Amino acid sequence: MDTIVALASPGGNSPRAILKLSGGQALQIVLELFVPERPSEGQKPIADSQFKYSCLKGKILVEEDTCAPCLLYVMRAPHSYTREDVVEVHTVGSPPLLEMLLEGLLSRARKSGRALRLAEPGEFTRRAFLNGRIDLSQAEAVLRIIRSRTDAELRLAARCASGGGDEISRTLKETQGRLAELLCLLELSLDFSDQDIEPLPQETLKSRLETFHKELSCYKKEDGTIKQGGIRTVFYGPPNAGKSSLFNALLGRPRTITSPHPGTTRDTVEAALTLRGFSFCLVDTAGVSHWPSALGRQPNPETRRPKAEGRGLSGDVEALSVVKSQEAVETSDLALLVLDASLPKTETIDLLKYLHPERIHPTILVINKSDLFRNAPPLEPLNLKLLNPGVCLPVVYTSALTGEGLERLGHEMIRQVLNGAVDSTPSPFNSRQRLLLEETLEALGRALGCVRQSAPQELAALELREALDKLGEVCGTITSDDILGRIFSQFCIGK
C-alpha cells in the first residue's frame, strides 16, 4: 500500500502546522530531509528504535539551503491511528513553507523510487477502518466531530469515536447475530424440508421477529421516525403570515425566498441554528389556510385540495405542499405557529380550535408583524384559554422586519428545551445510519406481516435477509467500496 502524505492542520498562517505521513516508507522518506538536533539521534538509531512512540527535535530541509525548525513525532506500526508507520512533522505554519516542504517530500520520494502520494479525503481514517483500528461507526463519528456545532454533539461524537458509544454498537451487533441465527434456522428448514428436519414453527418465528422489531424500535421517536440530531423546529401557519421572513430573521441571513404575495413557499426549507449550545433544525413550510379537524391524520389531497387563487398553480402542487407542511409539523420536536397580527379574530379562532396537546408537539404561538399593530394587537395571551380550554400556549409577539421579539422567541425556544418539553439529546446515529435502521425495521415489519398472514416462509426469509443486510451496513460488518467511497469522500484532506 502506498505511503500517503497530507497537511493535517487548518490552512492559513499559524504558530504551528502538522504534516502527516502514513505507510510502510513514511519514516524513511522523512528521515532523508530531517536533521536531528543531537548528532547521536541519527537516521539509523531512529529507524532501528524499538520504541512505539518517539519525539525528536531538529530541522527539516525545505530546499537545498533552507531549513525550518520542527518536531518529529514517530508512531510505529501497529500502535498508530492507521496501524501503519505514522510520522508527523510539526513545523512553522507558513503556507508557502508548507507547500515547499510538501513538494520536497514528494520530489525526494520520486527520486529515491519510493511510493509517496497525496492523501485522498478521509484516507487516514479509511485506513484506520480497513486495518481494524476502528469500526465504521467510529469512523463516521470522526466526521461528526468535525461537523459538530454544539458541546453536546461534540461530546457524543467524541465518545463514539473513542469507542465509548460501543453500548449501542454492541447491542446492534448482538441483534444482528441473533437475526443471522434465525435466518440460518429458517433457510435450513426450507432447504431440507424433504429430509427429517422439522420446519421452524410459525409461532416461534412470529415471536422472535416481534422481539427483534421491538428491540430496534426503541431507537424510534413517538412519531415513528428515528431520532436525529438537532431539535426539529417547524414554522407553520396561514399564507403570508411572515413565516419565511421570520425564518430568515432568526438565522440572520436570507436562506429562503420571501415575497409580499401569499403562497411563495411551496416546499420545506431547512437550516441549522445554534442557540446557547443547543442545535435547532429550523424548517420553513408552505402556508396552509385550513387544517384538517384532526391534525395528525394523513390528509387526503383529493378531498381537501386548496384553491389556486388565480396564481396559475395546479391544485395537485398546492395539495402536495399542504401534505408536506402537515407532515413537517407531525414529525417536529417543536412547532412555531406563526400568525399575522392583522389576521381577523374569526380566522385566528378557526386555526386555534384544532390545537389539541395530544395531537401535536410542543408549540409556541408567534404573532408576527407586530410592528403594524403595536397599539392594539388582536390577541392577548390570556384570551387563548377562552378560545380552547385545552390549550395554553406561550405567546411571543415578533416583527421579522424590525427584529422586535426575536430575542424573546429564542429564549422561549430554549425554555421549552430546559423545562423538558423538548428532547435535546443528540442522536447516536448519522443520516446514513438512520435511513438504514428505518429500512431494517420496514423489512422486519414485512417479514412479520408474512408470518401473521400465514404466507409461505420463503417470503419471510427474503425479507429477513433484507433486514439483516441493512443492519449489517449500520454496524459496518457489511460494506462495499461504493459505501466506503461515499462515506470517506465527505472528510477533509488530512483526516
Class for the domain spanning 135-225+437-495: mainly alpha
Predicted confidence at residue 381, as pLDDT, reads 46
Mean residue pLDDT of the chain comes to 76
DSSP letter string over 353-365?
Answer: TT--TTTS--EEE
CA–CA gap between residue 97 and residue 19 (Å, rounded)? 11
Backbone angles phi, psi at 7, to 5 degrees: -80, 120
Give the side-chain half-sphere CA count within 13 A for 387: 21
Whether 445 has a pLDDT exceeding 80, the answer reads yes
Q: Is the pLDDT of residue 187 over 70?
A: yes
Query: With bands split at pLDDT 50, 70 and 90, how would you rate the model's confidence at 279?
Result: confident
Predicted local distance difference test score (pLDDT) of residue 89:
94
Q: For residue 20, what pLDDT is reported?
A: 94
**Among candidate residues 120, 107, 99, 95, the one with its CA nearest the CA of residue 4:** 120
DSSP H helix total and E strand total for the chain:
16, 13
**CA quadruple 63, 65, 68, 73: dihedral, nearest 10:** 70
Provide mean pLDDT across the span 267-292: 77
Q: What is the CATH number of domain 231-418?
A: 3.40.50.300
List, in order, residues 6 or more apart from 42 with CB less than 8 Å away. Answer: 36
Report H helices in 2-135: 26-31, 43-48, 95-111, 123-130
**Mean pLDDT score, 71-85:** 92
So what's the pLDDT on residue 232? Answer: 83
- Residue 172: pLDDT band by 50, 70, 90 thresholds? confident
The answer on pLDDT for 280 being more than 60 is yes
Alpha-carbon distances of 279 from 88, 150, 158, 229, rounded to whole Å: 34, 6, 17, 8
Confidence of residue 468 (pLDDT cuts 50, 70, 90): confident
- Residue 422 phi/psi, 5-degree rounding, is -125, 135
Bond into 201 cis (ω within 30): no
pLDDT surpasses 50 at 313: no
Q: Are strands 3-7 and 334-340 parallel, antiparallel or unpaired?
A: unpaired
What is the model's pLDDT at position 74? 92
CATH class of the domain defined by 3-119: alpha beta
Please tell me the least confidently modeled range out of 23-37, 222-236, 278-292.
222-236
Cα separation, 135 vs 125, in Å, equals: 10
**Residues 259, 265, 270, 273, CA torsion sign:** positive
pLDDT score recorded for residue 69: 92
> CB of 292 within 8 A of CB of 273?
no
Instruction: Assess whether pLDDT exceeds 80 at residue 469.
Output: yes
How many alpha carbons lie under 13 Å from residue 189 in its C-beta half-sphere? 16
Of 59-68, 134-143, 377-386, give the range with the top mean pLDDT. 59-68
Percent of the chain with pLDDT strictly greater than 70: 68
**265 DSSP assignment:** -
Q: What is the mean pLDDT of residues 352-362?
A: 55
Asked if the model's pLDDT at residue 387 lies above 70, the reply is no
C-alpha grid cell for residue 86?
A: 505514522
- DSSP calls for 294-321: SBTBPP-TTTSPPP-TTS---HHHHHHH
Alpha-helical regions (H) of 337-430: 345-352, 384-387, 406-418
pLDDT of 255 over the 60 cut: yes
Q: How far apart are CA 268 and CA 26, in angstroms?
A: 49
Q: Which runs of consecutive H residues, i.e. helices, occur in 240-344?
A: 243-251, 315-330
What pLDDT shows up at residue 118? 92
| Residues β-bridged to residue 53 | 75
Region of 312 (left: φ > 0; alpha: ψ -120 to 50; beta: rest) is left
Whether 445 and 213 have beta carbons less than 8 Å apart is answered as: yes
Determine which of 115-129, 275-289, 404-418 has the lowest per-residue pLDDT on average: 275-289
Q: Where are the domains of the chain?
A: 3-119, 135-225+437-495, 231-418
Segment (H or E) for 60 = strand 53-63
Give strand pairing partners of 337: 236, 365
Q: Is the pTM of this model over 0.75?
A: no
* Per-residue model confidence (pLDDT) at position 87: 94
Among the listed ranges 77-86, 228-237, 309-318, 397-406, which one has the minimum average pLDDT value? 309-318
- Is residue 198 within 8 A of residue 189, CB to CB? The reply is yes
How far apart are the C-alpha atoms of 477 and 135, rounded to whole Å?
A: 8
Read off the pLDDT band of 295 (50, 70, 90).
very low
